Structure 1
Amino acid sequence: MHRRIFVAAVIASTLGMASPGLGQSSPPAGPAGSQAQRDAIAALSFMDGEWRGTATTYGREGPVTLIQTERVGPLLGGSVRVVEGRGYAEDGSTQFNALGIISWDERAGAYRFRAYAQGFSGDYPFERTENGFRWRTPAGPNAEIRYEATIQDGEWHEVGHYVAEGQPPRPYVELRLRRVGDTDWPGAGAVATR
């Protein structure tokens, strides 16, 4: 199975709310989510903005480097954070595009990470670290890709390692991005009421 889920391709779930009739109750929340959700998502504001740099993947044919962009911003009153990543070839053609949504599950006391990329989607473990975040995705039987990102001083550095049972970890992808500006995406441009 071929997966190139870069950092931007990452993120989040359904705000931890169960559907009525499934024997679980949902926490009370308004249209913009609960205060706990907004507070947890606000702790990820260091990701916001537009980012540009490179993403290098390491495969059997050797390394491939793309021009990588990420844009990150809040939505739903700040109760989720949306991430879009794009990888471009030198000719400007899009070679990779991913969308992720990060949310906070109050009952579990944990972030949820829902990502869509390359025809795949899933919910992945995600946690904030002191200087960034980490997450992982399955990569076959007894294997996963573990990502760790550091975001400081306008620099986003993320490394993913392929980790399989009985094998040493090996590099899978590395992102080196620089923050290039603010963005009002995805919140801007809502449909007018009239």
Structure 2
Amino acid sequence: MKKGALLLLGLIVFVTASFAQETKAQSQQAAMQQLRWLVGRWSGTSEVNVNDSKQITYVQEIITPMLNNTIFTVSARGTALDSATNKMTQVYSSFGVISYNVKDKQYRWRTWRNPGDSYDEANFKVGENSFEFISNENGGYMRYKANLNENGQWVETGEYSKDKQTWGLFINMTLNKKR
């Protein structure tokens, strides 16, 4: 009798835990659907303003759904023409993960950049075919806003601020999805 009761209790715990995990995954998948427009290979250019000079960067972004569409990975790299050597050189490389925390009902953004820099974003806001976030870096704050425009392009701007009050544009990017 004791064995039967223990077996039944174990079965109830197992079923309950399995159901909770399935429900959590379904909630994550539903939340990630709002970012489905990002999935794929993108390429284009960005104009970066640094110290009153403009640099054109050639950008490639690959967004891949992983773990049964509960997270998205983001691989990015940018190259630019080196005026000294007249050759294309890598100016940045990054890898990120976008996820959704069911308990907090909040998207998460974690990024690692070459060479060894990383930051964690808890304030990743998602809208209809858009997202934005603020990172704390370079002695201030960087605010990024992106959306899918009417031409099916990923358009993103980046602004910098020392105090979160006054913002200055430093990057403007337009990417096309590869078919």
Same structural fold, with TM-score higher than 0.5 when normalized by the shorter chain: yes
Q: 1:82 to 1:166 in 2, by over 3 A?
A: closer
What's 1:110 paired with?
106
Bigger RCO of structures 1 and 2 (CA < 8 A, at least 6 apart)? 1
Bigger Rg over Cα: 2
* Identical amino acids, percent of aligned pairs: 25
Greater helix proportion: 2
Alignment correspondent of 2:89:
93
- Structure-to-structure mapping, 1:1-194, within 5 angstroms: 28-29=20-21, 34-60=25-51, 62-90=53-81, 91-118=87-114, 119-124=116-121, 125-140=123-138, 143-152=140-149, 153-165=151-163, 168-181=166-179
Q: Which has the higher strand share?
A: 2
Distance 2:161 2:89 in 1: 31
**Given residue 100 of structure 2, which amino acid in structure 1 is its aligned partner?**
W
Q: CA deviation at 1:165?
A: 2.2
| Structure-2 separation of matches of 1:167 and 1:28 | 43
Structure-2 separation of matches of 1:28 and 1:63: 51
Residues 171 and 39 from structure 1, CA distance in 2 versus in 1: closer, same or farther, beyond 3 angstroms? same
8 Å CA contact retained: 2:32, 2:69 = yes
- The RMSD of aligned alpha carbons is 2.0
SS at match of 2:68: coil
Bigger Cα displacement from structure 2, 158-167 vs 60-69: 158-167
Structure 2 SS opposite 1:41 = helix
Query: Quick check: 2:34–2:128 contact (8 Å CA) kept in 1?
Result: no
Deviates more, 1:120-129 or 1:70-79: 120-129
Helix, strand or coil for the counterpart of 2:32?
A: helix
- Alpha-carbon offset, residue 166 of structure 1: 8.1
Report the 3-state secondary structure (helix = DSSP H, G, I; strand = E; otherwise coil) of the residue aligned with 1:43. Answer: helix
Letter in 1 for 2:74: V
* Contact 2:141/2:163 (<8 A) preserved: no
